[in-house]
Structure 1
Amino acid sequence: MTFSHVAIAGDISRHTFGQTETGRIVESVKLSNDNGVSATIITYGAALQSLILPDVSGAHVDVALGHATLAEYVAKRQFMGASVGRVANRIAGGRFSLDGKPYQVTLNDGPNALHGGVTGVDQAVWDVVEAKADRDSAQVTLRLVSPDGDQGFPGRVTTTVIYRLDDKDQLSIEYQATTDKVTVVSLSNHAYWNLAGEGSASGAMGLTLEIPAASYLPVDQTLIPTGLFTAVEGTAFDFRTPRAIGERVRTASDEQIRIGRGYDHNWVVERTPSGTMHLMARVTDPQSGRAMELWSDQPGLQFYSGNFLDGTSRGKSGQLYRQGDAIVLEPQAFPDAVNQPAFGSVRLVPGKTYRNAMIYKFKSSR
């Protein structure tokens, strides 16, 4: 069964989450509905800090990894629930060209730039533009202005993100960005999910996953896509029917699994972007019955199986986050598209608006 949808009202509460070393106040904004579902967003990194979800027995569990304090977010950059960009994922060598002019982005992932370089949007304090609630939903809008030349990217880019929780237990996240100069933009959200609970002793590898994609993008030794579109059939990357994540995450015979230390690859849900919302993934926890569908208008889905969680970060429940304790599902343009024309364009010009919309649909059943 699904949660009741009778006499629902959205609600918002705002609190101080912490203060940066420079004196900036970081807020937390909690969106709630009458079904017992709530999402807490912090202005540091415009990050999803918590998602409370009940099951059919009435037990309320936080299914999104995160920290209890601002200091823990600042101390170790793990993109925990964060908005990522200007360009999500990896750029080979941190280099690209626009209209014949070369650009170099700061390097923070070996020889490559990852999620915007050394200082990405995940480390910025965003401004709350609006927070409102009505009988159907609660939402908050945040904004960040990135100056021309930030991390090596051209253009002054203004980004907004809207988090909205509705009475059907759907959390939507929509990014929009504009620029005053030709540039590249590809934003996404890096929420870590474990439907068994963020402090679950069993981790997330028992979750079942479905990705409706017939191909994926294999990577080189530095996790940059090789440029090939490879069929998932007959490989550890075939999730067209639901499979337990842990079933093949340590398949030593698969070179791609060895390179990524698990899954850290992009699935080709659409070869050519349609601009319409479509299913990206389904995740289910067989034990609790909690389930999540992810829909987006993006062509690619980066699935990361929490390979680099190493037991050095403490979660909200007081437990240490270990390898495989969560998964990340990031709707986005294909990685390194700035250097690979076959992957489509992430070019943004003045007068146009970049968009990435995603919806997480939560249910619980037995």
Structure 2
Amino acid sequence: MATSFRHFGNLPDGSPVTAFTIGDADGIHVTLLELGAAVQSLWVPADGGSTNVVLGHSDAEGYVRYADDYMGVVVGRYANRIANATFTLDGQTHTLGVNNGSACHHGGPEGFSHRVWSVTRSSSHSITFELTSPHLDQGFPGEMTVLATYTVEGAVVVLEMEATADRATVFGPTSHIYWNLAGEGSGGVDDHRLTVAAGQFLPVDDDGIPDGALRSVADTPLDFRHPVRLGNVMRADHAQLHNGVDHSLHVTGHGLRHAATLTDPVSGRSVEVHSDLPAVQVYTSNFFDGRTVGTSGTRYRQGDGVALEPQFHPDTPNRPELGDPVLRAGAVRKHRIEWRFQG
């Protein structure tokens, strides 16, 4: 199929938002938005047709009104939480935008996910979005140029993220897709099975801020080294689990590697997540309360999707032992996420 596009709605200031669809009409195809470089829907073959397996909004107004759901968007400059909305780099302390308690969350109040990106390249199976983030955007140093390229390669969807900056800063993006392999709007993901290639997780306090060093997943509900029914974990009685799962797990190995597998035993669909980032955040849509209406007209409720976010651990800019998200002036930093489908 050729790249198709359509008007998706307008922002409050009247600016138009365009939706683009790439991939194969009779295979996997993805609808992407300029707003947040978001995956709005992702269709996989099913019974002579196709099924959308990600959560999303049906128009631009939904992405603006419920921006803090981060539905399918590219999150940055830095995904997850930075404690006290500050970090120090090369001896200089930077104060960031606060939008989650006292923390900077997912890049701040107006992070990458809130912006309209430009399309710089497109074909039937690939599209590149570009965004320029000015110096001190949300408090982060350096003017940064970011590229997000989506490609459909048969049964694999790839997201490559690339950044350059004119002075030292941090770059820790992710994709915030919510999965429901039974189909968008089909209800909870309790019966989905999740595997994560991680022997350690990062404990957090009640505000989601890292509380201590990496800890073994052994003898905790966060042991996903073998397939686990999500509903059992979401409702487990454990000090780290209050409303569900919202934790960073340390993925074994380095470079592009298998991070997680999610399977729906009823449909037989599964998606493998591969990434070159050090961790994956598992988030079971703990705060969906029926206010958000999805693409099918269904109201999303707690546990209706699960986000598997390859990323740096939360607060790594203040915890260098957890990783290195620093992007130096003139350097190029690239990260890759692959979603490989079966069934």
TM-score, normalised to structure 1, is: 0.91
Alpha-carbon shift at residue 300 of structure 1 (Å)? 0.4
Q: For residues 255 and 178 of structure 1, what CA distance do their matches in structure 2 show?
A: 40
The answer to whether 1:198 aligns with 2:184 is yes
- In structure 1, the residue matched to 2:334 is 355
Alpha carbons of 1:34 and 1:60: their partners in 2 closer, same or farther (altered >3 Å)?
A: closer
The answer to whether 1:151 aligns with 2:138 is yes
1:161 counterpart (145, 148, 151) = 148
The secondary structure found in structure 2 opposite 1:255 is coil
Q: For residues 162 and 246 of structure 2, what CA distance do their matches in structure 1 show?
A: 25
- In structure 2, the residue matched to 1:7 is none
- In structure 1, the residue matched to 2:70 is 79
- In structure 1, the residue matched to 2:102 is 111
Q: For residues 332 and 248 of structure 1, what CA distance do their matches in structure 2 show?
A: 22
TM-score, normalised to structure 2, is: 0.97
- In structure 2, the residue matched to 1:223 is 208
Residues 26 and 49 of structure 2 are in contact (CA less than 8 Å); yes or no, is this contact kept in structure 1? no
- Matching residue's letter, 2:189: A
Unaligned runs of 5+ in 1: 1-9
Residues 332 and 356 of structure 1 are in contact (CA less than 8 Å); yes or no, is this contact kept in structure 2? no
Cα RMSD for the two superposed structures: 1.2
The answer to whether 1:266 aligns with 2:252 is no
What is the percentage of aligned positions where both structures have the same residue?
Answer: 39
The secondary structure found in structure 2 opposite 1:257 is coil
Q: How many residues align?
A: 342
Residues 44 and 126 of structure 1 are in contact (CA less than 8 Å); yes or no, is this contact kept in structure 2? yes
Q: For residues 36 and 304 of structure 2, what CA distance do their matches in structure 1 show?
A: 22
The answer to whether 1:187 aligns with 2:187 is no
Residues 278 and 323 of structure 2 are in contact (CA less than 8 Å); yes or no, is this contact kept in structure 1? no
Q: For residues 285 and 53 of structure 1, what CA distance do their matches in structure 2 show?
A: 13
- In structure 1, the residue matched to 2:14 is 23
Alpha-carbon shift at residue 59 of structure 1 (Å)? 4.3
Residues 141 and 160 of structure 1 are in contact (CA less than 8 Å); yes or no, is this contact kept in structure 2? yes
- In structure 2, the residue matched to 1:313 is 292
Q: For residues 175 and 24 of structure 1, what CA distance do their matches in structure 2 show?
A: 25
Q: For residues 87 and 100 of structure 1, what CA distance do their matches in structure 2 show?
A: 19
- In structure 2, the residue matched to 1:256 is 240
Alpha-carbon shift at residue 34 of structure 1 (Å)? 5.0
- Matching residue's letter, 1:66: G
Q: For residues 181 and 279 of structure 1, what CA distance do their matches in structure 2 show?
A: 32
Alpha-carbon shift at residue 35 of structure 1 (Å)? 3.9
The secondary structure found in structure 2 opposite 1:311 is strand
Q: For residues 90 and 122 of structure 2, what CA distance do their matches in structure 1 show?
A: 40
